[in-house]
Chains A and B, each alone.
Chain A
């Protein structure tokens, strides 16, 4: 078990000591196990999306699930995002619990009407009569040189919408525990993964566990500066922190894990300790998650700040194909380190 995961596990420590045995599994397997366990427990849960069944998943997340659960519960759809998202929402309103996979979140833009206008609002419009227990999941953000239409991150778009919960995970352990919580949650959940992390290996307990929605995770403790991030930018944040430690700068690194509801408390508690905040996210800067955090921290911890809050986002542009552009577009450890030095006036 690597130290990065000590915090969530610590919550379960008494239990862990007695029974938890862990093994290393891939991110995609962690997601699959979450779906399998919940589908075994609850026959109302089913998976649908493009290539999820016979092809075993475009990124092999659902490998073997058709064999285990059959075509009634692991359902291939045509390329009809608006249609199958709507079918999912309607089904959720009527007593079943769909998991809708989008091949990537870029393609969910065709379905965003159903996520925002339907899933997020059935409960409120019907005054509590019709809920929508559904999970929309798939990979988010860039994955190499895929060009402008295949490289986008929309955590902040969905997090803007009352009625939705938004999760964006960075490692297999969180992926499994949070996807399980998302599936049993009675509200609609938007769940973001990453194409380039599906092969990442990480420690995951043999035994079942859940991670509560809405709780950030302190992945690295430190006293000099707080770095907040999520999804694959956590790698950038942690790499920067390791590098900074060599110079005696101890960064506290927080993985948001859930974007909505946002765990302001954990961030603010950390900022009260470190007095400095740097946010790293793979998203366009305007109205981003970092914008939201910045507002809350300046409001609730103004007197604790010893430097302006800084952020590293992507460039304020579309992401073009050439390797040159990918390099220039994305946050990287060097930029994080530079920002940290600036807020430390070092």
Chain B
């Protein structure tokens, strides 16, 4: 099982900080209308992404929903490619075709941000199916929200994945709200991990405000999948500090509730552990902070200066066939 080390902590700190600063910048730029469409920020949930990455191999596929910036960046998508995508520029990780909701990065085994709530639950199982079929020992990790857990897709997929012992880790990132609907208002079953029990899937609830607990749970699940013992369902409890998307007045929750979670901020927690265990000095931390700040500042410049895709690109990538005869009136 992937062991936690000093390097893990430093990776977690740096990764979470990169995501946080990137998302804060994205929020500002959205306000300036540099970024359009729907934009869902990951602020508050960073430990889920960071803790996941240290528990897996680089080749283990990742798939998630539209709230995808954090996981892509944690997996290795550069801030440049991410920001350029938000700008709709040709240098983006989806060449400006996907936008915020549809980051894709094949080199980093990132199978995308998906916009239809719950759709990627089945896709994740399919990606795992292919790994098994091809005889690799890769494990797919498939993320979805608490709201998505109410789609029929979850049940059909859980059944198939268990029956076929697919190497997949299902992760429900329970941030307690699906848009304005709290978990309590969406089901009688509020302990979401228990949904796995209906299919005898090993399932548990995990503290998602700490990288350690996320790492351990994912590592254990990955080991199970690699041994051929099939899927695991993790309900990772986390929290989004910001609104659902950029236009959410957030009347469904109190400021106090948000503050309560900010007290458990995963970046702060990780930093204090690092300092306590003397994994880094204050000066070394300061150096990381500056590096990340520069990376994020630079990515904005990169996105600003990158070219837009050519309009003719609308017709590319709809088919692999290069001379597909589109209807053009």
Please give the residue numbers on chain A whose beta carbons come within 8 Å of chain B beta carbons, in ascending order. 50-51, 54-55, 58, 76, 78-83, 106-107, 109-110, 144-150, 285-286, 310-313, 315-318, 320-325, 327-329
Contact = CB atoms under 8 A, between A and B. Distances in A.
Given A83-B152, A286-B327, A147 B99 contact: yes
Contact of B326 (A107, A110, A316, A322): A316
Chain B contact residues: over half helix, strand or loop, or mixed? loop
B257 interface: no
B204 interface: no
A160 B13 CA distance: 55
A320 B185 contact: no
Nearest to A311: B329
B250 to A, nearest CB: 10
Contact of B152 (A82, A150, A316): A82
Contact of B181 (A76, A82, A327): A76
A149 B179 contact: no
Nearest to B150: A78
B117 interface: yes
A188 B273 CA distance: 61
Which of A54, A317, A329 is the most central at the interface, judged by chain B CB atoms within 10 Å of its CB? A317
A311 B327 CA distance: 12
Interface stretch (B55-63, B157-165, B285-293, B307-315): B307-315
Contact of B314 (A82, A146, A315): A315
Interface in B92-113: 94, 96-102
Which of A54, A76, A147 is the most central at the interface, judged by chain B CB atoms within 10 Å of its CB? A147
A107 B101 contact: no
A296 to B, nearest CB: 18
Contacts of A145: 36-37, 88, 99
B244 to A, nearest CB: 10
A197 to B, nearest CB: 17
B182 to A, nearest CB: 9
B89 interface: yes
A19 to B, nearest CB: 39
16 contacts: A50-B179, A81-B151, A82-B151, A145-B36, A146-B99, A146-B101, A149-B114, A311-B329, A313-B329, A321-B94, A322-B89, A322-B96, A323-B36, A324-B310, A324-B314, A325-B309
Interface in B237-264: 251-252
B329 A80 contact: no
Interface string B208-227: 00000000000000000000
A323 B180 CA distance: 29
B31 interface: no
B187 A78 contact: yes
Give 5 closest A-B pairs by Cβ, nearest first.
A321-B99, A322-B88, A78-B150, A320-B97, A55-B180
B328 A79 contact: no
Given A144-B36, A150-B115, A328 B314 contact: yes
B73 interface: no
A186 B313 CA distance: 46
Contact of A320 (B36, B96, B147, B150): B96
Interface of B: 36-38, 85, 88-89, 94, 96-102, 114-118, 147-148, 150-152, 178-181, 185-187, 251-252, 308-311, 313-315, 318, 326-329
A215 B58 CA distance: 59
B102 A321 contact: yes
A322 B87 CA distance: 7
Contacts of A322: 88-89, 96-97, 99, 308-309
Contact of B37 (A76, A80, A321, A329): A321
Contacts of A58: 179
Given A147-B115, A321-B97, A79 B147 contact: yes
A328 to B, nearest CB: 4
Nearest to B114: A149
Given A55-B179, A55-B181, A325 B116 contact: no
B90 to A, nearest CB: 8
B251 to A, nearest CB: 8
B62 to A, nearest CB: 19
B181 A147 contact: no
B314 A285 contact: no
B242 to A, nearest CB: 17
Nearest to B251: A55
A148 B102 contact: yes
A130 to B, nearest CB: 24
B311 A325 contact: yes
Given A55-B180, A149-B101, 12 more contacts: A55-B181, A55-B252, A78-B186, A79-B147, A80-B150, A147-B101, A149-B114, A150-B101, A317-B318, A320-B97, A324-B308, A324-B313
A317 B325 CA distance: 11
Nearest to A313: B329
B98 A79 contact: no
